[in-house]
Amino acid sequence: MALVRLIGVVEDGTPRRAGVPVNPRTTLKTSKGQDFQIEVTVVTSGGNQVSLAGTTPTLTIKKRPQDDPALLKYTNGDIVGNVVTFTLPSVDSKRKLDPPGQYVYDVWITLDSKLEPVVPLSPLLVEAAAFKP
């Protein structure tokens, strides 16, 4: 199973600390039918950890940015402290991310009753499944 690690940022107006990305958009790449995980460490723009206790982290995947509803929506990530891990099973990528090509994804959390984009809309490149003899 492929694992991708990202940093998600809650823009809280604090000065940006070294190591906190100015633009948390990250292009992801996977193969159709592959299990993969997306691990997001959530920090403030100042680099402080954001507790995810009591929040509902959400990962959405769409064919185009304007599509609604999303092709895939996950709200069942595993939370440990300020890290959420979403597992995307192969059956979802095989059925929903078809045909292979460019998709988009984003990650949101509900914090103090407000939706916060921690990874803004970013490219997700889905390649054709590798041939297995």
Please state the three-class secondary structure of 29-70 as a single string: EEECCCCEEEEEEEEECCCCECCCCCCCCEEEEECCCCCCCC
The pTM assigned to this predicted structure is 0.92
- Rounded Cα distance, 2 and 30, in Å: 8
What is the model's pLDDT at position 116?
A: 92
**Domains, the chain, with CATH or none:** 2-127 (2.60.40.10)
What is the model's pLDDT at position 129?
A: 77
What is the model's pLDDT at position 113?
A: 86
Q: Give 10-residue mean pLDDT values along the chain (133 residues).
A: 93 92 93 93 96 94 96 95 96 91 96 91 90 53
What is the model's pLDDT at position 130?
A: 67
